[in-house]
């Protein structure tokens, strides 16, 4: 099909955008219009709120909002809200929570809360001379010129913690950075950090231009490349851990020794083998992202940071680790993560507000711990299944409902399947076979589904 670029799309009304979409891409299908509109909220204020979160919005995209109860964290009981579409995630988290509830629960420690941003710039004069000017005049002026921007943050106990000039010329000719460290207390701080950085760049430009120590050519060589926070926050880091006497790990037919051997081996493999580490960490992120989304935080930032951290030793590795020492099994996750519990969506999105209330309106540091616990629990649950029963037993049981919904099964048929698979491992093929038998047809095509 020969399509033409669209002009002024953002200026079309919501109806206009839908009409354009359906005509251009969906062969004018009236069902597509219904599909989009059935997700509109009747409450027009609420709908407007969601429309305003983004650009060119035409509908809402639902995500299941679930609860994982029984999380004992630092001796306090939590129910953790999770927004996630993968069927087994909340169930696995709840199961792991229950397991550790009976063994002392989870402990969290915020190791540090420093966030970073950089002014990236080019300068072709002497690095030593630039460093001297930076230390003698520029640094103090950077603080001074951002006093207005940092006023409120300082009032809340945050602000600029440190400023450094970093010489990167060995890696890229003429490349320098102002590396700025910030404390942003309960806000994620992206806007605050970026505003400070942009002011730093202006101050830098003006002080270099005025400098009596630099010649014309050196002054002219200064080029600001960009001012932006770093989503890599290795100094904004929390540890979540569980531990218990070794003999408390026996379950069913699996002895403690057997469990520890299998579990530790699985962790070691993820530590040394990037193919496994990627999937291992993906499982951790299943728990982390679900809480990050439910609490209105930026899961892309959290993902990017976690994976950079997982590569910090030169190869991609596991984010979790375990050990047995003096008869105690210990399993932990160190997670660098920048979160906010004020600002952004946290006060705007009604479900996010509710999720934060369910968690007891945590500070950003407390939320760091809760999120890390969700990741650790998820990983514990996944590894426990993987090294004992295998993952598919639980996964396919959860996936059964998805298959049955695709087949447009009635409630009665769904109940039949729950009984049918009580003592069998679910497979797609078996579900189809049994479904055809129930409906008295030879093949699924005969049912003419979704037509
Ligand atoms: C699936 O979403 C996550 C797992 O693959 C994680 C893992 O393998 O550790 C089960």
Ligand 1, CB within 6 Å, residue ranges: 86, 279-280, 282-283, 286, 382, 386, 391
Q: How far is the CA of 321 from the centre of ligand 1 (A)?
A: 16
Q: How far is the CA of 181 from the centre of ligand 1 (A)?
A: 35
pLDDT of residue 348: 93
Q: Whose CA is nearest to atom 2 of ligand 1?
A: 283
Q: Whose CA is nearest to atom 10 of ligand 1?
A: 382
Q: Tell me, yes or no, if 434 is annotated catalytic.
A: no
Chain Cα centroid distance, residue 163: 28
Q: How far is the CA of 378 from the centre of ligand 1 (A)?
A: 9
Domain ranges of the chain: 1-62, 65-112+234-389, 115-229, 394-447
Q: Whose CA is nearest to atom 3 of ligand 1?
A: 283
- Write a three-state SS string for the chain: CCCCCCCCHHHCCHHHHHHHHHHHHCCCCHHHHHHHHCCCCCCHHHHHHHHHHCCCCCCCCCCCEEEEEEEEECCEEEEEEEECCCCCHHHHHHHHHHHHHCCCCEEEEEEEECEEEEEEEECCCCHHHHHHHHHHHHHHHHHHHCHHHHHHHHHCCCEEEEEEEEECCCCCCCEEEEEEEEECCCECCHHHHHHHHHHHHHHHHHHHHHCCCCCHHHHHHCEEEEEEEECCCCCEEEEEEEEEEHHHHCECCECHHHHHHHHHHHHHHHHHCHHHHHHHHHHHHHHHHHHHHHCCCCHHHHHHHHHHHHCCCCCCCCCEEEEEECCEEEEEEEEECCCCCECHHHHCCHHHHHHHHHCCCCCHHHHHHHHHHHHHHHHHHHHHHHHCCCCHHHHHHHHHHHHHHHCCCCHHHHHHHHHHCCCCCCCHHHHHHHHHHHHCCCCHHHHCCCC
Q: How far is the CA of 83 from the centre of ligand 1 (A)?
A: 17
pLDDT in 10s for each residue of the chain, 451 residues: 778 999 999 999 999 999 999 999 999 999 999 999 999 999 999 999 999 999 999 999 999 999 999 999 999 999 999 999 998 999 999 999 999 999 999 999 999 999 999 999 999 999 999 999 999 999 999 999 999 999 999 999 999 999 999 999 999 999 999 999 999 999 999 999 999 999 999 999 999 999 999 999 999 999 999 999 999 999 999 999 999 999 999 988 889 999 999 999 999 999 999 999 999 999 999 999 999 999 999 999 999 999 999 999 999 999 999 999 999 999 999 999 999 999 888 989 999 999 999 999 999 999 999 999 999 999 999 999 999 877 767 667 778 888 999 999 999 999 999 899 888 888 889 999 999 999 999 988 888 776 5
Fold exhibited by the domain 65-112+234-389: 3.90.770
Q: Whose CA is nearest to atom 6 of ligand 1?
A: 283
User: Which of 270, 282, 385, 387 for a ligand 1 pocket mutation test, highest count of atoms within 8 Å of Cβ?
Assistant: 282
CA contacts within 13 A on the Cβ side of 1:
8
Active-site pick, 14, 50, 86, 213: 86
**Dihedral sign computed on CA atoms, order 251, 256, 262, 267:** positive
Q: How far is the CA of 277 from the centre of ligand 1 (A)?
A: 10
pLDDT of residue 336: 98
Q: Tell me, yes or no, if 271 is annotated catalytic.
A: no
- The number of beta carbons lying within 10 Å of the beta carbon of residue 172 is 10
User: Which of 382, 384, 388 for a ligand 1 pocket mutation test, highest count of atoms within 8 Å of Cβ?
Assistant: 382
CA contacts within 13 A on the Cβ side of 386:
18
pLDDT in tens, 298-348: 999 999 999 999 999 999 999 999 999 999 999 999 999 999 999 888 989
pLDDT of residue 450: 60
Give the residue among 369, 398, 372, 395 at the shortest CA–CA distance from 382.
395
| CATH 1.10.3720.10 corresponds to the domain 115-229 | no
Do 383 and 92 contact (CB within 8 A), yes or no? no
pLDDT in tens, 424-449: 888 889 999 999 999 999 988 888 77
Active-site pick, 50, 168, 219, 282: 282
CA contacts within 13 A on the Cβ side of 147:
4
Q: Tell me, yes or no, if 321 is annotated catalytic.
A: no
**What is the radius of gyration, based on Cα positions, of the chain?**
27
Q: How far is the CA of 78 from the centre of ligand 1 (A)?
A: 24
Active-site pick, 186, 241, 271, 298: 298
Residue 89 CA: nearest ligand 1 atom is 2
Q: Tell me, yes or no, if 298 is annotated catalytic.
A: yes
């Amino acid at each position: 099909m020969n399509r033409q670029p669209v002009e002024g799309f953002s200026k079309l009304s919501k109806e206009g955008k839908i009409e354009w979409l359906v005509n251009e891409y969906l062969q004018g299908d009236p069902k597509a219009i219904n599909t989009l509109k059935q997700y509109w909220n009747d409450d027009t204020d609420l709908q407007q709120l969601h429309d305003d979160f983004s650009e060119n919005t035409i509908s809402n995209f639902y995500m299941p909002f679930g609860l994982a109860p029984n999380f004992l964290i630092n001796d306090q009981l939590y129910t953790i809200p999770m927004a996630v579409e993968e069927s087994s995630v909340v169930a696995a988290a709840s199961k792991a929570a229950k397991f550790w509830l009976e063994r002392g629960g989870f402990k969290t420690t915020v190791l540090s809360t420093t966030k970073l941003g950089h002014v990236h710039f080019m300068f072709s004069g002497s690095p030593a001379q630039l460093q001297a000017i930076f230390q003698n005049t520029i640094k103090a002026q950077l603080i001074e010129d951002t006093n207005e921007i940092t006023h409120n943050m300082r009032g809340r106990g945050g602000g600029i913690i440190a400023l450094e000039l970093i010489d990167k010329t060995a890696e890229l000719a003429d490349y320098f950075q102002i590396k700025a460290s910030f404390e942003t207390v309960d806000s994620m701080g992206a806007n605050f950090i970026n505003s400070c950085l942009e002011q730093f760049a202006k101050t830098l430009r003006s002080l270099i231009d005025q400098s009596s120590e630099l010649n014309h050519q050196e002054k002219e060589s200064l080029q600001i490349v960009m001012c932006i926070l770093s989503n890599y926050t290795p100094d904004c880091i929390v540890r979540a851990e569980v531990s218990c006497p070794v003999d408390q790990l026996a379950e069913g037919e699996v002895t403690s020794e057997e469990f520890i051997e299998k579990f530790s081996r699985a962790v070691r493999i993820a530590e040394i083998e990037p193919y496994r580490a990627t999937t291992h960490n993906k499982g951790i992120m299943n728990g982390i992202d679900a809480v990050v989304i439910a609490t209105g935080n930026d899961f892309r930032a959290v993902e990017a940071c976690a994976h950079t951290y997982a590569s910090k030793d030169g190869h991609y590795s596991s984010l979790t680790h375990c050990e047995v020492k003096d008869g105690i099994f210990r399993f932990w996750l160190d997670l660098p993560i920048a979160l906010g519990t004020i600002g952004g969506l946290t006060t705007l999105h009604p479900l996010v507000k509710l999720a934060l209330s369910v968690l007891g309106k945590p500070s950003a540091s407390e939320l760091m711990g809760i999120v890390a616990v969700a990741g650790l629990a998820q990983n514990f649950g996944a590894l426990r299944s993987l090294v004992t029963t295998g993952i598919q037993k639980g996964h396919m049981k959860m996936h059964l409902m998805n298959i049955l919904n695709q087949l447009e099964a009635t409630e009665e048929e769904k109940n039949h399947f729950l009984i049918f698979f009580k003592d069998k491992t679910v497979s797609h093929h078996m579900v189809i076979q049994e479904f055809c038998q129930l409906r008295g047809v030879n093949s699924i095509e005969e049912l003419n589904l979704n037509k």
